[in-house]
Structure 1
Amino acid sequence: MASIDKSKLTETDIITKFILPAVKDAGWDDLTQIRQEVKLRDGKVVVRGKVAARKKVKSADIVLYHKPSMPLAVIEAKANKHEMGKGMQQGLDYAKLLEVPFVFASNGDGFIFHDKTNPTQLETEISLNDFPTPQKLWQKFCIWKGYTEQQLPIITQDYHDDGSGKSPRYYQLQAINKSVEAISAGQDRVLLVMATGTGKTYTAFQIIWRLWKAKNKKRILFLADRNVLVDQSKSNDFQPFGSAMTKVQKRTVDPSYEIHLALYQALTGPEEHQKAFKQVDPDFFDLIVIDECHRGSASEDSAWREILEYFSSATQIGLTATPKETDDVSNADYFGDPVYTYSLKEGIEDGFLAPYKVVRVDIDVDLQGWRPTKGQVDKHGELIEDRIYNQKDFDRTMVIDERTELVAQTITNYLKRTDPMAKTIVFCNDINHAERMRRALVNLNKDQVDKSDKYVMKITGDDEVGKAQLDNFINPKKPYPVIATTSELMTTGVDAKTCKLVVLDQNIQSMTKFKQIIGRGTRIDDKYNKLWFTILDFKKATELFADERFDGIPEKVITTKPKDINDEESDLEDILNNDDQPEDGETSGDDPGGASEQNGEEIGEEEPWGDTTDGELPGEENQVRKYHVNGVTVKAVAERVQYYDTDGKLVTESFKDYTRKTIAKQFASLDEFTKKWNAAERKQAIIDELEREGIIWELLLQEVEQKIGKELDPFDLICHVVYDQPPLTRKERAENVKKRNYFTKYSETAQSVLNTLLDKYADEGVLEIEKKSVLKVEPFPQMGRPKEIVQKGFGKPADYEKAISELEAEIYRIA
């Protein structure tokens, strides 16, 4: 080892030849305790126009584990030319995600050891021979965590491994471990807050599995208030429980099973004989997991709370994406503060959840209101109460057919311009509204309905035919239904991974409900190219994004007319005419409590004695007097294009503006950027770095080249967009190099090679001439094999590399 020149070794060589041997010599098991290239994040999806790309993310070089469920330490390696502790800050970032106290940084000479358990000195230098043993780190970890001997058998129980290579994501492992730790320490009420689409049910399964396998909890109840939640859990995540598991049916609790999945409605009812949960003793269950605990049992006077109170001796875990904290309802009061929270914003930043664009359409009658003429009657001959009806009234107390048709036409136009087969959920105010919307969409999509009469379906609690299609809607392999109109049934628990359009034509003032609805689109499915989704908002519901209680950041907000909706920013810039004008009708009906609550805003939140599968109460339309008119002229008004910036504020910003702002943060001047560009051994490294910041070159090129009519490479794109330099094309740069007679210092062969590379740059860009394989493509094979070309023209490979660097410096020389 001593004879190896470390300075010439790559980072990978340093890991293989020095770091891993030191770790293994200390007793770490290669198969169970050492994992290399651990990818903790997926890479945030950045959406601009119709283009989406993932930011590239780095992996932790090495993570050390006590057992697969217990990460202990992170090791970050760097090439030997760097200082020993160069990777420390990067390692600390990974350690923060994993919540481990030990970080090692190394360049192959030794380790800088960051030890959060050391009260006197956080960082020390240790030799390769002094790497700590697994036992030593585990002992320090247990003391740091405060584990007792009684906790260890439970805490060290492995999660379920199905052999597919799937393991919990870093935040799921955090949630599992923190829950198991809390329960092993005697905590009997646990709250987990995880954004929709982040795998709450899978996380719950792993918690139950570990407690069950450790024999800490023997009889377990998984409780939900939607049939679809129970069925999805039983057939998917909970499947490994096999014959130990049952679904409670016909109000019968079978004590011969250990794992029970149940609807509240199957366990209780208003009559004493319906209270099936009393068939077993209060101490029958050791553990109860309550899915979507913000509903149903969250309230003290809930008809379902009695189940939890009856089994009060059991440990109870509440799962929710949207904990309720109001004057009347509090998850924290019952379960305590969350042991772990993973938010929508974190999910989007990590690349596990889909970002979204918002298209807001303002309709004139919504903003200005509509008033009947004196003595006007509706379609049914009812005298219409004389007052101004506004956005909160429409489709609740006042139905205007033309408004419904305009919304349906807007949805149809959007799908035709983007993807007519994109799974779409249209949230309506009630069942009646959902039916009228279904009919309007059917009439506007005859070509698609002719292919399948299930192109548009109403999926609501009162419609058995529609409910039967719910599984097909959420199945990515099933093309139909494409459009689902609903009111409450699909607000939660519907795992529609490929949903690309969420339409809001419903008055929403509950932040809990709003988050649940937005969650219908936040799942990512790379296989089916679902990386982001669009929210089409007709009722100003997306104003809730500005509420401090909402932690997600929309990628884009467009306020426009239906006919003008287009995903390209450049096509919409021409309608930025009225940015500073206040919207009419803003002040009408703004009472946050009144009409919407009186008209059943929260219908379906609990429905304790209703149908066990629906989300609406039968006959809800009859609860409110509703007028129905037609013959009203309805149109949309046009406004502006806006983005939410990283601070959650609305800004009018094109992709050029985004690029300018992003790059100016890194390079304050053209000189700074040019120096960094020219100093880079490979320009690809800078391009990759900027891509990680969300610079999508294809879209930037498209936006700039449309206006200047020139083909630019990344360097000139940045110089022009960020620093207002006159844009030079690749061909112009190549000609400038030739005019300077730069090649005369080289041999005839070298000049021929460099001239050919310069022509390739002019045609294909700088990345082409940086490829190691460039000498294998025409016309170079005519000159000889790559090795022969290098030897004859330049001598050594290092001299060829130097010539390429000098060529690039000439290409990018600033006059």
Structure 2
Amino acid sequence: MSISHELTEEDIKFRYINDAITCKGWTKDSIFMEQQVKFTDGKINLHGNFVHREKPKFADYVLYVNKATPIAVVEAKDANHSVSHGLQQAMEYAKMLDVKFAFSSNGEGFAEHDFLTGKERTFGMDEFPTRDELIERYKREANDGNGLNGQEEAIINQPFCTGQNIFPPRYYQLNAVNRTVNAIAKGQDRVLLVMATGTGKTYTAFQIVWRLLKSGLKKKVLYLADRNILVDQSIQQDFKPLEKVIHKIDYSKDKNHLEELGSYQVFFALYQQLIGQNDAKNYQELFPNPNYFDLVIIDECHRGSAKDDSNWRTILEYFSSAAHIGMTATPKETRYQSSIGYFGEPVYTYSLKNGIEDGFLAPFKVINITTNIGDEWRPVKGQKDIYGNEIEDRIYNNSDYDYNIVIEDRHREVAQEITNYLKSTDRMAKTIVFCADETHAERMRIALTNANADMCKKNPDYVVRITGSDEYGKGKLDYFISVSSKYPVIATTSKLLSTGVDCKMVKLIVLDQQIGSMTEFKQIIGRGTRLREKEGKTYFSVMDFRNVTRLFADPDWDGPIEIDPNYPPQAYICPTCGQSPCICLKPERKPCPDCGQTPCVCQRPPKLPKPIVAPDGCKVMVINKVVSVYDTNGKLLRTESITDYTKKNIVDTYVTIDSFTSKWHSAGRKVEITEMLKDVGIDITALKHDQNMDDVDDFDFICHIAYGKKTLTRRERAEQVKKRDIFNKYGEQARLVLEALLDKYMNEGISELENLSVLKNDPFRKLGSPANIAKLFGGKQGYLDAVKELEQLIYNVA
């Protein structure tokens, strides 16, 4: 079959490919086939404060076993390309969508890649496999040719939970759910799922539980977490469709009503509730049958439950007959803690890099702040702290401040720098300030309150400390993370907000604590990654006072594992057992007989109060700021300014000022050039505003940025035109129109001259209708010629 090479790709799809697929049972009813499936949102690129999205990825066709299970991707090309030309693109999309068959077609035939066998073939347009044939091949070839078992078929046929307030899964969420339930269906009883912060781990967990319950593969589920907010968020939000069968465990109440627990299917619990005081093993009293649960989900499993000697681990060991699913953004591997050692290799990983590349997570820029005492401060001889004690004579730096010594003026300077940034961007931007400890968080709260007294006068909750021991602050946590609640705006914290908390609107993360752990660093960065475009959040900023962002250069930045062979950093040897941590009287885990604590702290030096240096004892100031943009691998893209970026894009298009000037003068609409720049993320209007050049003509501004030319304001250009007295060849009324147009240009720019609808507004309405105004110039073309002449005069001014 010969096809005209003049037909477009859309023509080929409409005339040939659609029928070739649909006649084989792949119907267009959105159950078995979809066209133009958008599966990414398009990466957001950051240039200064300007953002623009790349084009999203679309698959021409996606074929489904059912809506829970995609099976194939078909990519179309026009007849100028070979049958297999689109196959590699189809394979790329197939790998992203986790499907097993990729096809391409140019309307003359099909090419196929089978991921289950690794083989490829080509065939005619009338030989596309029927729906039943392809599904049968999938079932037969799966599991290395051993086929699907009954449980796998049951889970494949179980749809996702859908409803009015339940959004359909994104492609990676669908992949994560399918990989997990399929692993469970195959009999795998330890499963690790790695998904970056902000990509919907809890929603994914809900869909996993829904499908396993509804398919009958699982009947009783225990969902474990270590923070109340993680449990409450899950129950109230993602797990709401299961609310009638959900129970949150409260040991003090449940121990007296054990018979009522049997009516529930999904139990949410804090480790602390199940263990109880002094390792009471409450879980044995509540659930005397260790086989009660057949599925346990461990949220944020990189924390305590992965430790071999954790008392939290005893819960997992007690319910060991159940399948265990660990969920985390940052699996952890140290000498004493192993996510992979317990759960095995992840069945699916969707990283921060993937999320930003796909446009589902917010990109970020980093502002590195250097103070005059960042690398070195030494007290003068005999200098005393506020208590009158002499300060130890040594070199102090960022690793000491607020850990070993407190510099009061440093808090003021840090708070002022944060405030300056918010004033220059958005005073109401949600901000988390990560501090060394809870005391430091309180000092920063006070310093930020004083720096933002005008805002705190309006609402004292503008700045709040939210830490584990601060009951007032913890009471404000729900308001801080709420999208609809304005206050609190700034939260100072130490650890409480570093992981698990869904902070959708955080636009600024301030690092004022030492962070050596890649896991903790990833979790903190993750607080800002959620996108909320409708609410104006398209990116976030990281302000670093401790050079923590050096970790972006670490090879493990976006790797799945943190390796820490030297954990813990300091070892304290128990004098009784000679080991660290102390194993005296283990497994009863009673306190060490010498120090009375578990683990033993016998060898730890006594904790002395930190010296505090008054403001007049050490003046602190910011001496340098570097704004950097990183790619998704943590590689430094640039520290260049938006000006440099703009210049590069203009010069890449118009090599010389003459070529740009020629294009500007020949352009039918000058605004088309500024629109072209917007397509690559350059907003000339916003950029002029940032540089206090609002009154400069776009032409002058572009020439200034790209070619170093001196600028003229629109007023200066307009005044030069008026001096030439070029309007005398027109009638009185026509002159009034041109003078008014020149005033419009002077105040608002060249786009006002190019837009005919301007004649409908004041002051032109006083001169008549647009049609009547055109008659003053002999008709519409005469008016357009006069405007063109006016533009030429404007730009002929040197």
Q: Normalising TM by the smaller chain, what interval? A: 0.7 to 0.9
Give the CA deviation at 1:720. 10
- Name the residue aligned to 1:401: 408
Cα distance change of structure 1 residues 258 and 688 upon mapping to structure 2, 3 Å threshold: farther
Cα distance in 1 for residues equivalent to 2:168 and 2:771:
48
- Name the residue aligned to 1:131: 128
**Structure 1 residues 349-358 or 686-695, which shifts more?**
686-695
Cα distance in 2 for residues equivalent to 1:477 and 1:458:
20
Give the CA deviation at 1:209. 1.1
Give the CA deviation at 1:642. 5.1
- Name the residue aligned to 1:201: 202
- Name the residue aligned to 2:792: none
Q: Secondary structure at the match of 2:373?
A: helix
**Conservation of the 8 A alpha-carbon contact between 2:385 and 2:612:** yes
The alignment status of 1:18 with 2:16, answered yes or no, reads: yes
Give the CA deviation at 1:186. 1.2
**Conservation of the 8 A alpha-carbon contact between 1:158 and 1:210:** yes
- Name the residue aligned to 1:323: 331
- Name the residue aligned to 2:102: 103
Give the CA deviation at 1:71. 0.8
- Name the residue aligned to 1:307: 315
- Name the residue aligned to 1:635: 620
Q: Secondary structure at the match of 1:354?
A: coil
Cα distance change of structure 1 residues 7 and 695 upon mapping to structure 2, 3 Å threshold: farther
Q: Secondary structure at the match of 1:137?
A: helix
**Conservation of the 8 A alpha-carbon contact between 2:47 and 2:681:** no
One-letter amino acid of the structure 2 residue matched with residue 470 of structure 1? L
Cα distance in 2 for residues equivalent to 1:474 and 1:162:
25
The alignment status of 1:496 with 2:496, answered yes or no, reads: no
**Structure 1 residues 57-66 or 474-483, which shifts more?**
57-66
Q: Which runs of 5+ in 1 are unaligned?
A: 553-590, 599-607, 610-621, 733-759, 770-777, 791-815
Give the CA deviation at 1:285. 0.7
- Name the residue aligned to 1:605: none
Give the CA deviation at 1:481. 0.7
| Equivalent residues in 2 for 1:397-476, closer than 5 Å | 397-476=404-483
Give the CA deviation at 1:643. 3.2
- Name the residue aligned to 1:142: 139
Q: Secondary structure at the match of 2:454?
A: helix
| Equivalent residues in 2 for 1:4-153, closer than 5 Å | 11-31=9-29, 32-79=31-78, 84-107=83-106, 109-117=107-115, 122-127=120-125, 129-146=126-143, 147-150=147-150, 151-153=152-154
Aligned length: 683
Cα distance in 1 for residues equivalent to 2:11 and 2:334:
57
Cα distance change of structure 1 residues 236 and 79 upon mapping to structure 2, 3 Å threshold: same
Cα distance in 2 for residues equivalent to 1:635 and 1:110:
73
Give the CA deviation at 1:34. 1.4
Give the CA deviation at 1:211. 1.0
Q: Secondary structure at the match of 1:365?
A: coil
Q: Secondary structure at the match of 1:371?
A: coil
What do residues 196-222 of structure 1 show as CA deviations (whole Å, max 9, x unaligned)? 101111111111111111111111011
Give the CA deviation at 1:549. 1.0
**Conservation of the 8 A alpha-carbon contact between 1:102 and 1:113:** no
One-letter amino acid of the structure 2 residue matched with residue 169 of structure 1? R
Cα distance in 1 for residues equivalent to 2:290 and 2:362:
43
Cα distance change of structure 1 residues 117 and 530 upon mapping to structure 2, 3 Å threshold: closer
The alignment status of 1:530 with 2:528, answered yes or no, reads: no
Cα distance in 2 for residues equivalent to 1:474 and 1:405:
26
Give the CA deviation at 1:635. 2.6
- Name the residue aligned to 2:361: 353
Q: Secondary structure at the match of 1:520?
A: helix
- Name the residue aligned to 1:739: none
Cα distance change of structure 1 residues 164 and 469 upon mapping to structure 2, 3 Å threshold: closer
One-letter amino acid of the structure 2 residue matched with residue 345 of structure 1? K
Give the CA deviation at 1:161. 1.1
- Name the residue aligned to 1:519: 526
* 1:268 equivalent among 275, 282, 290: 275
**Conservation of the 8 A alpha-carbon contact between 1:192 and 1:320:** yes
One-letter amino acid of the structure 2 residue matched with residue 447 of structure 1? D
Cα distance change of structure 1 residues 178 and 667 upon mapping to structure 2, 3 Å threshold: farther
Cα distance in 2 for residues equivalent to 1:8 and 1:726:
49
Cα distance change of structure 1 residues 693 and 595 upon mapping to structure 2, 3 Å threshold: farther
**Conservation of the 8 A alpha-carbon contact between 1:219 and 1:284:** yes
- Name the residue aligned to 1:387: 394
* 1:653 equivalent among 640, 647, 654: 640
**Conservation of the 8 A alpha-carbon contact between 1:396 and 1:624:** no
Q: Which has the higher contact order (CA 8 A, sep 6+)?
A: 1
| Equivalent residues in 2 for 1:191-340, closer than 5 Å | 191-251=192-252, 252=254, 254-271=261-278, 273-278=280-285, 279-340=287-348
Cα distance in 2 for residues equivalent to 1:92 and 1:685:
37
Cα distance change of structure 1 residues 684 and 111 upon mapping to structure 2, 3 Å threshold: farther
Give the CA deviation at 1:14. 4.1
Cα distance in 2 for residues equivalent to 1:546 and 1:270:
43
**Conservation of the 8 A alpha-carbon contact between 2:371 and 2:623:** no
Cα distance change of structure 1 residues 243 and 119 upon mapping to structure 2, 3 Å threshold: closer
**Conservation of the 8 A alpha-carbon contact between 1:44 and 1:350:** yes
Cα distance in 2 for residues equivalent to 1:217 and 1:234:
19
- Name the residue aligned to 1:626: 610
One-letter amino acid of the structure 2 residue matched with residue 148 of structure 1? L
Cα distance in 2 for residues equivalent to 1:90 and 1:130:
22
Cα distance in 2 for residues equivalent to 1:723 and 1:85:
46
Cα distance in 1 for residues equivalent to 2:279 and 2:49:
57
One-letter amino acid of the structure 2 residue matched with residue 137 of structure 1? L
Cα distance in 1 for residues equivalent to 2:97 and 2:672:
28
Tell me the TM-score normalized by structure 1.
0.74
Give the CA deviation at 1:653. 2.4
Cα distance change of structure 1 residues 698 and 216 upon mapping to structure 2, 3 Å threshold: farther
Cα distance in 2 for residues equivalent to 1:688 and 1:285:
60
Cα distance in 1 for residues equivalent to 2:139 and 2:464:
55
Cα distance in 2 for residues equivalent to 1:476 and 1:345:
25
One-letter amino acid of the structure 2 residue matched with residue 299 of structure 1? K
One-letter amino acid of the structure 2 residue matched with residue 69 of structure 1? A
Tell me the TM-score normalized by structure 2.
0.75
What do residues 561-601 of structure 1 show as CA deviations (whole Å, max 9, x unaligned)? xxxxxxxxxxxxxxxxxxxxxxxxxxxxxx99869999xxx
Cα distance in 2 for residues equivalent to 1:216 and 1:781:
78
One-letter amino acid of the structure 1 residue matched with residue 211 of structure 2? R
- Name the residue aligned to 2:733: none
One-letter amino acid of the structure 2 residue matched with residue 401 of structure 1? E
Give the CA deviation at 1:725. 12
Cα distance change of structure 1 residues 690 and 352 upon mapping to structure 2, 3 Å threshold: farther
One-letter amino acid of the structure 2 residue matched with residue 97 of structure 1? M
Give the CA deviation at 1:105. 2.8
| Equivalent residues in 2 for 1:575-654, closer than 5 Å | 625-630=609-614, 631-639=616-624, 641=626, 643-644=628-629, 646=631, 648-649=635-636, 651-654=638-641
Cα distance in 2 for residues equivalent to 1:350 and 1:115:
24
Cα distance in 1 for residues equivalent to 2:610 and 2:319:
44
One-letter amino acid of the structure 1 residue matched with residue 542 of structure 2? I
One-letter amino acid of the structure 1 residue matched with residue 610 of structure 2? K
Give the CA deviation at 1:195. 0.8
One-letter amino acid of the structure 1 residue matched with residue 243 of structure 2? G
- Name the residue aligned to 1:774: none
Cα distance change of structure 1 residues 450 and 710 upon mapping to structure 2, 3 Å threshold: closer
Cα distance in 2 for residues equivalent to 1:87 and 1:364:
57
Cα distance in 1 for residues equivalent to 2:755 and 2:191:
56
Give the CA deviation at 1:437. 1.1
